[in-house]
Amino acid sequence: MSSHVLDKPLVLRLIGLMFLAHLAFGGIRLTLTLWAVAQGMSTLGVGLLLSLLTVMPMLTAVAMGRWSDRAGFRAPVRLGMVMLLAGGLLAAWGPNLGVMGLGCVLVGWGVTMVQVAVTQAIGLAAGPAGVTWGFAGLSVGFSLSGFAGPLAAGVLIDVAGHALTFWVMSVTPLLGLLLLRLTQSPLLQPPARLAEDAPGAQTGSLLVHGPIRAALITAALVALSWDLFNFFMPVHAAQLGLSATAIGSLVAAYSAGSLAVRLLLGRLPAGTDEARLLTGALLLTVLVFAVVPLVSGYLTLLVLALIIGLILGIGQPLAVSLLHHSAPAGRAGEAIGMRSVIVSASQTFLPAIFGALGSAMGTGPVFWVVAVTILLALAVVRPTRLKSGQT
């Protein structure tokens, strides 16, 4: 990795690209969820529809990372923004279920392409000394977009309906394409030695790399918790009779909690035990998920959404930081792509699984099922093992 000084303006432009892509994604995803509920679809049907968001990322994220390592970030980001734009316009053109499904595929594929490429580029632009600051800033961008997208979508749905909301959410990828033209630097050029030319370049060699394997397992637990909230809390709240605006505010409160904790993440003192910090956050997540089915009031759910955002907000940036530090030279994009495969697989299969469980036992008990699953997984990945990169 290069030893250059942190280029903050460049990193901020890269974060802006991810913010615009994720803003569109968050708004479109919530609108798709509430559109499907309004059509009378079962929780299983909603889960199957939303799982289309992550089918292609699950299959291609490693290839996306290798493409970024080899060719640089600009082409993947450009294509990803175009996919987001096309997916949003298709959803606006609906409401045919087949068209909505194709829109889901394009939107999910596009945002992942942008995410993998931008994350790899931030590692290059920040340099070794600034990589924690860079990824903390990226996570703040995720939180801001996760707050603004669903909140704006919820209000727009109540005021103007689903179709217009899809149209409005499709504007931000256009802004992303404009910002991309301003985001250029020699720091972002791909390394002279191609990733596939490096020793042991096969994906399997990364999977047997202890620190990467440990970080991927932890990332999977964070993704499980993240997806339960982002998919199932809107469905759970809708069944409790809350309005679209109220549901959007729950997702926004979650993102506000993530933002608050991520603003402090870059100030962690040297020597902080990241493994124990991640494990403690997951244990607190278990406690919150155990409480959610026991309450039904809007204000209580709002507080719980804020708390779970505070808890899980540290998970994604710390997992990415561990991966970036552990990846062999010239293969950071591939390692990040592997994490995206884990996250995408979670987002592909878990909505359908959550939906099936919700249809069988109601939405509340699903939170308990996930809480138990996390506890069992933490019994395998203990803090000392994660720290040493063992599994």
Please, what sign has the CA dihedral across residues 100, 101, 103, 104? positive
**Residue 78 above 60 pLDDT?**
yes
Backbone dihedral region for residue 200 (phi beyond 0: left; psi -120 to 50: alpha; all else: beta): left
pLDDT of residue 21: 94
Residue 132 lies in a domain: yes
Q: Which helix (H) or strand (E) holds 353?
A: helix 332-361
Q: For residue 267, which of 136, 383, 97 has the smallest C-alpha distance? A: 136
Give 302's pLDDT tier (boundaries 50, 70, 90): very high
Give 208's pLDDT tier (boundaries 50, 70, 90): low
Most confidently modeled of 134-148, 235-249, 272-286? 235-249
Mean pLDDT along residues 289-304: 90
Mean pLDDT along residues 202-208: 57
Q: How far apart are CA 334 and CA 117, in angstroms?
A: 10
Backbone dihedral region for residue 79 (phi beyond 0: left; psi -120 to 50: alpha; all else: beta): alpha
**Residue 256 above 90 pLDDT?**
no
Helix (H, G, I), strand (E, B) or coil at 331: coil
Other residues' Cβ atoms within 10 Å of the Cβ of residue 294: 10
Amino acid identity of residue 255, one-letter, is S
pLDDT in tens, 33-46: 888 888 888 877 88
Least confident window among 124-128, 189-193, 231-235 = 189-193
Cα dihedral: 277, 281, 286, 292 (round 10): 170
**C-alpha distances out from residue 383 to 273, 275, 277, 280, Å:** 9, 5, 9, 9
Average pLDDT in the chain: 79
Q: How far apart are CA 5 and CA 233, in angstroms?
A: 42
Identify how many contiguous H helices and E strands the chain contains and give both numbers. 17, 0
pLDDT in tens, 160-180: 888 899 998 888 999 999 999
Mean pLDDT along residues 326-346: 71
Q: How far apart are CA 37 and CA 40, in angstroms?
A: 5
Residue 198 lies in a domain: no
Contacts of 287 (CB under 8 A, 6+ apart): none
In percent, the amount of the chain with pLDDT more than 90 equals 15
CATH code of the domain covering residue 384: 1.20.1250.20
The residue behind tokens 């997806």 is: 227
Residue 194 lies in a domain: no
Q: For residue 142, which of 14, 34, 38, 331 has the smallest C-alpha distance? A: 14
**Residue 386 above 70 pLDDT?**
no
Least confident window among 184-198, 249-263, 289-303 = 184-198
- Structural domain range at position 216: 8-187+204-388
Give 197's pLDDT tier (boundaries 50, 70, 90): very low
Give 1's pLDDT tier (boundaries 50, 70, 90): very low
**Residue 27 above 80 pLDDT?**
yes
Residue 3 lies in a domain: no
**Residue 193 above 60 pLDDT?**
no
pLDDT in tens, 85-117: 999 898 888 767 888 888 889 999 999 899 888
pLDDT of residue 206: 65
Buried b (16+ CB within 10 A) or exposed e, 344-373: bbbbbbbbbbbbbbbeeeebbebbbebbeb
Helix (H, G, I), strand (E, B) or coil at 274: helix
What pTM, to 2 d.p., does this model score? 0.69
Mean pLDDT along residues 187-201: 50
pLDDT of residue 207: 64
Q: What is the 3-state secondary structure (H, E, C) of 190-201?
A: CCCCCHHHCCCC
**In the chain, how many domains are there?**
1
pLDDT of residue 291: 92
Backbone dihedral region for residue 40 (phi beyond 0: left; psi -120 to 50: alpha; all else: beta): left
Residue 2 lies in a domain: no
pLDDT of residue 25: 93
Residue 30 lies in a domain: yes
Q: How far apart are CA 356 and CA 322, in angstroms?
A: 34
Q: Which residue has the higher pLDDT, 304 or 50?
A: 304
Residue 149 lies in a domain: yes
**Residue 195 above 70 pLDDT?**
no
pLDDT of residue 271: 58
Residue 193 lies in a domain: no
Helix (H, G, I), strand (E, B) or coil at 382: coil
Cα three-residue angle 316-322-323, rounded to 5 degrees:
90
pLDDT of residue 384: 46
